[in-house]
Structure 1
Amino acid sequence: MKFIHAADLHLDTPFVNVKSFSKQLQNNLQKSTYTAATKVFDTAIRERVDFVILAGDTYDNTQRSLNAQAFLKNQFTRLKENNIQVYLIYGNHDYYRNNFSVIEFPANVHIFPETVSTETLTSRDGLKVGITGFSYHQQHISDDMAQNYPIREAFDYQIGILHGSVGSDEYAPFTVNALISKGYDYWALGHIHKREVINENPDVIYSGDTQGRNPNETGEKGFYLVTVLNQRTTLDFIASSSYVWTKQIIDAVSDDNLDSLINKAMKFLDTETPELISFTINNAQRLDPEIIRAIQRDELLTYFSHQTLNGVMYQLTLEFNQEQRLQNIDQKYWDESAEQVFDLNDIKEMDQKLYNIDLIREHLNDPEFMQSIKAATQNIINQKHIGEES
């Protein structure tokens, strides 16, 4: 038996903040989620899989554009013609709304309702398979939905589909032990855009998204081709990204000029495959003030926007470091102040309406985002401190 586990296709991702890119690159980015999705379905047909699992957020939002629906209907019809089933759940971005879809999908597409339910099929090699899941019916689900999944039934192979996250939040929180206790063979997870094998035997797997959507979603994205043979499950990762987001660091030295910085950046931009690269110039305090001002006027970004390279300079950040570390007492007070200033509870209380916005709440609850805010604040302080010393 073979199946594909994919999640978070996010068709129609808007890709904001790319207006400085060429029109061709902007168009290619807008198409990239569709290009990645097409690779999912092409692979399913080429590998003659029994079925495809789409574990939530197939669309980027609950409005589900006509173009996205027509695209999926066409792809699902291709799968039907090849005797391939589709098992789809809706997530927090494209949550379930009765009778909302404008276009009806072919009969091989099985969409799970808002209550946990189980679909069954018999694979080409004769395995009786159970697939259990549910679709979001609203944007946020704080209930532990894993408790509603039944204990393993009389199947040769049972799969759970769940769009959620480990721990306590508003996206169907669960514990790994709770999933394992169900006795299933495979858990196909969605929602987290980072590929991760949480547990083996049984497999509890995040496939990640199929196309990185912003600079924080770095690295190759894709999906899993899963093979079950002689009661053994093996996973093959299939890359599907049109563009890969990466981060690179340039170390500045005191005699750097714009030309030398261009040469340093070129070593990263001359790539074999398309990359969107966020650059950080480390130790920017070593640069001449005129060079710093030129960079802050986006002159390097503009220069590279006119170059024809596989690597694209998406972002350029100056990182100011103190050549001498803070005195121990200063560092102590900074650390203590940072804990107070960046307290998430205080931020929530300052503007509850702002925190209620889904995108903002997701960012604020992301520890890496809060850490980046702290780092940016320290960077501003360092730049000001250096300016006062010069």
Structure 2
Amino acid sequence: MKFIHAADLHLDTPFVSINNFSNSLQEELKKSTYTAADKVFDTAIEAEVDFVILAGDTFDNTERTLSAQTYLRDQFSRLASHNIRVYMVYGNHDYYRNDFSVIGFPDNVTVFNDDISTAQLKTKDGQTVGITGFSYYQNHISDDMVAKYPSRGSFDYQIGILHAGIGDQNYAPFTVNELLTKGYDYWALGHIHKREVLHQNPMVVYSGDTQGRNQNELGTKGFYLVSAKNGITQSEFVPSSVYVWEDSRIAAIKGDTMNDLFTKITDVLDSYRQSSEKFLVTLTINDAQNLNEEVVKALDRGEVLEHFSKNNFNAILYKIYSKYNRDAKLVEIDQKYWDESESSIFNLDDIKDLDSRLFGEQVIRDHINDPAFISHIKELTKNTINKKYIGD
């Protein structure tokens, strides 16, 4: 038996901050989630799998586009012509509604609704397989949904599909031990955009997303091709990302000119030349206080980024961040005043009260409630202060 475990295709992801790229590159990025999805379905046919599992957030938004629905219908029809079934759940981004699909899917597709249920099939090698899952019915689910999953049935092989976060109270919280008590052979997880094997036997696996969507989703993305024979499960990671997001750093030293800066950035981009993959690089310039005023102005105006957008590298410079540091003798004094003001300045209740209509937007709430986002804002604030008082 063979199957594919993929998740978080996020078709129609709106890539941001790409206006300085060429029109052709912008189009390629916007199509990248589809190109990555092509790899999933092409691999299913080439490997002659029995079925494909899509573990949530296939669409980027519950207001899915007609083109995304048409694309999936056509791909599912391709799979049907090769006797490949599809089992999919909807996640927090594309949560389930009774009228969700304007365009219906072919008969080889099983979409789990908001009630936990088990589908059955017989594979080419004669194994009976049970697949258990549910779709989100709203953006957030705080219930322990795993507690409602049935224990292992009388199948040769049983799979659980779950779009959730470990201990995350907003997204069907669970623990690995809780999954293991069900006795399943494989847990196909979605939601976390980073592939991770949480347990080996039985396998509990996040496949990650198939195409990185922003600068925080680093590294090669893809899905798993899974085989099960004689009670042994084996998995192979299959890369699918069109562009790989990378994070690189250089250091500015006293006396660095624009030419020096160009040389350092060129060396970074050139280091990716031998790879067959294409990269989007976010570059941080450490100790930017060492740069002279004219170089800093060129960075702030986006001229350096614009310059490298016209160069033919295997890696594309996506953003440049300048990190300014204070004199070491001032750090202790600065930290004292920062600690005194931090709790009042970054009070979440005050931020939420600034504009209740703005906080009504889901994306705003998600960001404000994300500790990593608040930490990022604090770092940006420190950096701005350090830049302003260079030389004081």
Q: With the length of structure 1 as denominator, give the TM-score of the two structures.
A: 0.94
Give the aligned residue type for 2:291.
Answer: L
- The offset of 1:185, in angstroms, is 1.3
Q: Deviations over 1:20-46 (max 9, x none)?
A: 111010000011000000000111111
In structure 1, the partner of 2:213 is 213
- The offset of 1:63, in angstroms, is 2.1
- Equivalent position SS for 1:292: helix
Q: How does 1:102-141 map to 2 (within 5 A)?
A: 102-141=102-141
In structure 1, the partner of 2:156 is 156
Q: Deviations over 1:173-193 (max 9, x none)?
A: 222222222111111111111
Distance 1:155 1:346, change over 3 A: farther
Tell me how many residue pairs correspond in the alignment.
388
In structure 2, the partner of 1:55 is 55
In structure 2, the partner of 1:277 is 281
- The offset of 1:286, in angstroms, is 0.5
For the pair 1:91 / 2:91, whether they are aligned, the reply is yes
- Equivalent position SS for 1:291: helix
In structure 1, the partner of 2:42 is 42
Give the aligned residue type for 1:299.
Answer: E
- The offset of 1:328, in angstroms, is 3.8
2:301 aligned to 270, 277, 297, which one? 297
- The CA distance in 1 between the partners of 2:168 and 2:329, in whole Å, is 38
For the pair 1:198 / 2:198, whether they are aligned, the reply is yes
Give the aligned residue type for 2:233.
Answer: T
- The offset of 1:333, in angstroms, is 4.4
| Greater Cα shift, 368-377 or 297-306 | 368-377
In structure 2, the partner of 1:359 is 363
Give the aligned residue type for 2:207.
Answer: S
- Equivalent position SS for 2:70: helix
Task: Indicate the percent of aligned positions where both proteins have the same amino acid.
Answer: 57
For the pair 1:17 / 2:17, whether they are aligned, the reply is yes
For the pair 1:317 / 2:314, whether they are aligned, the reply is no
- The CA distance in 2 between the partners of 1:329 and 1:295, in whole Å, is 29
- Equivalent position SS for 2:159: strand
- Equivalent position SS for 2:87: strand
- The CA distance in 2 between the partners of 1:369 and 1:223, in whole Å, is 27
- Equivalent position SS for 1:88: strand
2:292 aligned to 288, 306, 312, which one? 288
Alignment gaps of 5+ in structure 1: none
Give the aligned residue type for 2:213.
Answer: R
In structure 2, the partner of 1:247 is 247
Q: Give the ranges of 4+ consecutive aligned residues of structure 1 lying more than 6 Å apart after TM superposition.
A: none
- The CA distance in 2 between the partners of 1:357 and 1:7, in whole Å, is 25
- The offset of 1:163, in angstroms, is 0.9
- Equivalent position SS for 1:12: coil
- The offset of 1:256, in angstroms, is 1.3
- Equivalent position SS for 1:104: coil
- The offset of 1:357, in angstroms, is 2.3
- The CA distance in 2 between the partners of 1:260 and 1:338, in whole Å, is 37
In structure 2, the partner of 1:64 is 64
Distance 1:157 1:352, change over 3 A: farther
Distance 1:83 1:308, change over 3 A: same
1:373 aligned to 363, 374, 377, which one? 377
- The offset of 1:355, in angstroms, is 3.7
Distance 1:325 1:342, change over 3 A: farther
Alignment gaps of 5+ in structure 2: none
Distance 1:235 1:365, change over 3 A: farther
